[in-house]
Amino acid sequence: MMGFSFIDAVAFAAFIAAWIAYHYLMEGEWSERRTLNRRMDAFRIEWMQRMLTRENRIVDAQIVAALQNGTAFFASTSLLAIGAALAILQSTDAVMKLFADLPFVSPHRTSWELKTLGITLIFANAFFKFGWAYRLFNYTTILLGSTPPPSEAHTPQAKAHVLKAARMATLAGRHFNRGQRSFFFAIGYLGWYINAWAFMAATLAIFIVMTNRQFGPDSHWVLDDQEPL
């Protein structure tokens, strides 16, 4: 139907399942202090606690600005990817002729257009995640600017404010990670343009690589009290 087979449906279901599973691996209750992303949350709190005792907080503001710039770069890249996907969608006839002679590829006009629409939505999701992360980093800057002076560092109000700033930075980082996740899974999604088997293989490869980066020893020894591997 519409150029899709049963194996295409299985591959797409596996792709959605892998995305959801990775989301819960990274952000579910089980991930607490197990993933590299979640372990960095403690360092955000420590950063804000040290910031509270500093008289000059220019460096802290510069760090947030650097994080914002990186987020803005990915947001603009997402827009470029959306534009490229829409351009490909408008050039379906030329693409059909290009892929007709390639091995292992059986292009169908409707399925090609739906696949391209799918990857456009993935990049659109990435843009919204990066855009919101940029805004959250902006809120973090505001919280930095409203931090009480070091003379009030031991007051309950100052300690509560530090937690708010750390949580805002954590939330910004979480949405940034979700945007990057869309980029990574988009790479696996590209395998569908070949066939469903390539789609499943690419999705599995991306899932394994990303999971290893979060749980592998190469990612954690930096934060552990042990010798380099």
pLDDT tens, residue by residue, 66-101: 999 999 999 999 999 999 988 888 877 776 766 666
229 has a pLDDT exceeding 60: no
Burial class (CB in 10 A: 0-12, 13-18, 19+), 56: exposed
Residue 199 lies in a domain: yes
Return the amino acid letter for 118: G
User: How far is residue 208's CA from residue 215's CA, in Å, rounded to a whole number?
Assistant: 10
Inside any domain, residue 81: yes
Domain count, the chain: 1
Instruction: Determine, yes or no, domain membership for 64.
Output: yes
Burial class (CB in 10 A: 0-12, 13-18, 19+), 130: buried
Residue 191, domain member (yes or no): yes
Using an 8 Å Cβ cutoff, are 75 and 130 in contact? yes
Range of the domain at 141: 6-12+58-209
Structural domain includes residue 218: no
pLDDT, residue 226, reads 59
Q: What is this structure's pTM?
A: 0.86
Q: Quick check: is 29 in a domain?
A: no
| Structure confidence at residue 228 (pLDDT) | 53
Residue identified by tokens 């980093």 is 137
Q: pLDDT (tens digit, 9 = 90+) per residue, 9-58?
A: 999 999 999 999 999 888 877 666 678 888 888 899 999 999 999 888 89
In a domain? residue 121: yes
Among 24-28, 30-34, 122-126, 151-155, the range with the most confident prediction by mean pLDDT is: 122-126
Mean pLDDT (the chain) is: 87
CA nearest neighbour of 115 among 6, 185, 191, 182: 191
Domain contains 48: no
**Length of the chain (residues):** 229
